[in-house]
Copies of this chain bind each other. A is one copy, B any other.
Amino acid sequence: MADVKRVVLAYSGGLDTSVILKWLQTTYGCEVVTFTADLGQGEELEPARKKAEMLGIKPEHIFIEDVREEFVRDYVFPMFRANALYEGQYLLGTSIARPLIAKKQIEIARKVGGDAVSHGATGKGNDQVRFELSYYALEPEIKIIAPWREWDLRSREQLIAFAESHQIPIAKDKRGEAPFSVDANLLHSSSEGKVLEDPAHEAPEMVYMRTIAPEDAPDKATYITIDFEQGDAVAVDGEALSPASLLTRLNALGKENGIGRLDLVENRFVGMKSRGVYETPGGTILIAAHRGIESITLDRGAAHLKDELMPRYSELIYNGFWFSPEREMLQVLIDKSQELVTGRVRLKLYKGNVTVVGRESPYSLYNQDLVTFEEGAVAYDHRDAAGFIKLNALRLRTLANRDRKVGR
């Protein structure tokens, strides 16, 4: 067991991380520093402070920070510039939050002279990887304590028992086995486990917490506009909003219209398949809008290159490689493409559907003259198409002649 003096723990204030806090104190005999972030998960932070104090953390070792703007501006928005979807569908809501938390823990460790960091992610999931790759990339000699991989608590009962024996208060609704586990932040909430474990069965309605059911959404469509500047959303319905405020607004719009639910079986980096239910109301609107504004402002060559690299970029984020040279290289490529991705998209929101119904931009590459039926003043000569096709066909014709010659 590593010799640890002072550990910075990602602390939510909930039962699990409170047990970890106590376990760190008793097992490692070390000082614990807590970091609690407001990522938009929708919980009060002050109770976490109280609980930390109660568990013996010095006030100057309790760090609580509202990182919502930083989260959306420096993590969510850059990712959305790429239209990132893991396995074609997942908007990476959990994955994108981990690097930020890890970065904050490392910064605090430097400030308080911590020699270790710790998190509450389990030993079978992706989050442990995302946390720890980020820790190591930022502070290569840091010690990492992952209690779920180390301790011998092997069930909910044992966890509760440990809490009880250490005077950790337990909320009534946490006593029993939760029917599924949840992660949430401003971008999304995810649910997995227990009632969701059989992928043959539909997820029960109670799983959803961020969106109302499409069936319960208004019978009339809501129309909105989103303005973009250099690839990032900056206004809704003409009102300029900060990144976090904008995403909050879109979340509300998505929620009301039953938008952003996803029921998915995905492939974890650690090697197994898992089934999750995701709710990303604002993000689902945002990616549609971003594709909409790109469709008129991005050149084909740029757009196709981005599309081909997107799966790789998304995989890097999913696997926890946010702080890696290859993610950063892809990011500069993507950002380069966004310089004139500026304009307004109009969307229709209706019972789970997001539809782009209009796009306009001072930087539009859409040229109405070029596509009209009649040949216009513009420099498009129908006969050019013949040459274009002939030369594109040349290798195929050569091939066909060869194949014929050899009787294929």
Residues of A within 8 A of B (CB): 83, 87-89, 122-124, 128-129, 132-133, 136-141, 146, 148-149, 154-156, 181, 192-193, 197-203, 214-215, 219, 221, 261, 263-267, 270-275, 291-292, 295-296, 299-308, 310-312, 315, 321, 323-326, 328-330, 332-334, 336-337, 340, 346, 348, 350-353, 355-360, 362-368, 370-375, 379-402, 404, 406, 408
CB <8 Å contact, A351 and B203: no
Closest chain B CB from A264 CB (angstroms):
7
Nearest chain-B residue to A355 (Cβ)?
B263
Establish whether residues A357 and B398, one from each chain, have CB atoms under 8 Å apart when the complex forms: no
A-B pairs, 4 with minimum CB distance: A387-B387, A271-B394, A123-B382, A384-B387
Given A133-B393, A265-B295: 5 more A-B contacts, CB < 8 Å = A155-B373, A197-B368, A199-B296, A271-B395, A299-B326
Given A214-B350, A332-B336, A355-B263, A136 contacting B272 (CB threshold 8 A): no
Q: Which partner residue on chain B sits nearest A301 by CB separation?
A: B326
Given the contacts A272-B367, A350-B352, A368-B197, A133 and B340 also touching, CB distance less than 8 Å: no
B357, A263: Cβ atoms under 8 Å? yes
A312 and B308 contacting across the interface, CB-CB below 8 Å: yes
Could you name 28 residue pairs across A and B whose Cβ atoms are closer than 8 Å? A87-B304, A87-B307, A122-B373, A123-B382, A129-B388, A136-B396, A141-B401, A181-B373, A197-B368, A200-B358, A202-B346, A202-B357, A215-B221, A264-B295, A265-B292, A271-B300, A272-B367, A299-B324, A299-B395, A305-B330, A324-B396, A332-B332, A332-B336, A352-B352, A383-B387, A385-B387, A387-B388, A388-B390
For residue A267, which residue of chain B has the nearest CB? Answer: B300
Interface residue from B140, B198, B397 paired with A400 (Cβ < 8 Å): B140
A212 to chain B, nearest CB (A): 13
A296/B308 contact (C-beta < 8 A), A202-B348, A402-B365 known: no
**A301 CB, min distance to chain B CBs, angstroms:** 4
- Inter-chain CA distance A394–B193, complex, in Å, is 20
Chain B min CB distance to A200 (Å)? 4
Once the chains bind, are A388 and B270 in contact (CB under 8 Å)?
Answer: yes
- Whether A271 pairs with B391 at a CB distance below 8 angstroms is yes
Partner of A270, one of B221, B311, B385: B385
CB pair B356 A263 closer than 8 Å: yes
Least CB separation from A271: chain B residue: B394
Are B272 and A371 in touch, CB under 8 angstroms? yes
B202 touches A296 (CB 8 A): no
Q: Is the CB of A148 within 8 A of B321?
A: no
Partner of A137, one of B332, B393, B408: B393
Report A336 CB to chain B, min CB distance, Å: 5
Bound-state CA distance A372–B123 (Å) is 11
A379 to B381, CA, bound (A): 22
Q: A385-B128, A390-B388 are in contact. Are A301 and B324 (CB under 8 A)?
A: yes
